[in-house]
A = this chain, B = another copy of it.
Amino acid sequence: MDAQTSFLDTLFDRGILHESGVDGLYARSALFEDVIRRFEDYVIGLGRDETDEAMVFPPGMTMADFETSGYMKNFPQLAGTVHAFCGDTHDHMALLECLATGKDWTDGQKRTGLALTPAACYPLYPIVARRGALPEGGLTVALQSYCFRHEPSKDPARMQMFRQREYVRVGSADEAIAFRETWKRRGSEIMTALELPHHVDVANDPFFGRAGKMMGASQREQELKFEMLVPITSSDKPTACMSFNYHQDNFGKAWNIRQRNGEPAHTACVGFGLERITLALLRHHGLEPAEWPDGVRKVLWG
């Protein structure tokens, strides 16, 4: 049995996660949620003074904004769209017949106006765009969302439904880049305070297909994405527990977010993978948070 399956089974056995029958979809225990909440409170505290506002998003976004994001073009294999029954009594009879005989009934499902949110910051951009030109000095927003990625896996750190907490900077190129550098530094300080082995490395998103390989290489070359890597089930392939992203003016252009000078806004974000960080803590400090090192407990329990 490999390290991923073994760690996952341990989490099931201890009732820290509960299996559902689908890889990457798990119920969380009170213990797991308590760690997530305490980590979130800690990170919210670190960024509070420089944050203009905070938002929490539902797990879905509008199909229109999902299309605008470009996610379906670049990562179709990971995206999820929401479909629903839109029929009448006659269609319902056919549906009941399918359900009763075990036939696939999902072909009749129609698209709705919603997609599952693939990255926590996407729903923010249209909200900011709707307000008109940015205020002087741009905007910094703290947010949280459930995200969906269609990649069933036995790796407990690769869930299909998971939460990201983010800070997003919207402003000039200089402001976005400075923000990202600040949080790269802070990310290392956080991991040091939590006594987790870690290092930051340049990274790329999992663009689809052959052409996608080139896009990933270009993203690395331009150093647009960095990840905070922590070994969870493997030292060779550590897990990205945070990411530090500079989007240039891609989202500013896509949603028409304007700086005060009329130029498209530049954006950057730092994302914290809440389940992954919790799993890293459980892996390195043990399955009983009451017995974690004093320094870690002081950070999270105060």
Contacts and interface: CB of A to CB of B under 8 A. Distances in A.
Contact of A146 (B25, B54, B81, B146): B146
A21 interface: yes
A83 B160 CA distance: 13
B209 A92 contact: yes
Interface in A21-41: 21-22, 25-30, 32-33
Contacts of A18: 55, 127
A112 interface: yes
Contacts of A146: 58-59, 146
A128 B53 CA distance: 40
Interface string A113-153: 11010000001101100100000000000000010101010
How many copies make up the complex? Answer: 2
A214 B33 CA distance: 41
Contact of A22 (B25, B26, B113): B113
A283 to B, nearest CB: 20
A64 to B, nearest CB: 6
B84 A83 contact: no
Nearest to A87: B76
A82 B85 contact: no
Contact of A25 (B27, B28, B53, B58): B58
Interface stretch (A102-110, A169-177, A287-295): A102-110
Interface stretch (A65-73, A246-254, A256-264): A65-73
A95 B76 contact: yes
A80 interface: yes
Contacts of A112: 80, 150
Interface string A75-94: 01111111111110100100
B55 A83 contact: no
Given A81-B106, A123-B20, A73 B58 contact: no
A204 interface: no
Given A25-B58, A30-B55, A60-B148, 8 more contacts: A20-B61, A27-B56, A27-B124, A72-B99, A81-B84, A82-B116, A104-B111, A106-B111
17 contacts: A21-B64, A22-B113, A25-B58, A25-B61, A33-B54, A58-B161, A58-B162, A59-B161, A60-B148, A76-B87, A77-B85, A77-B86, A81-B82, A82-B83, A89-B210, A92-B209, A114-B160
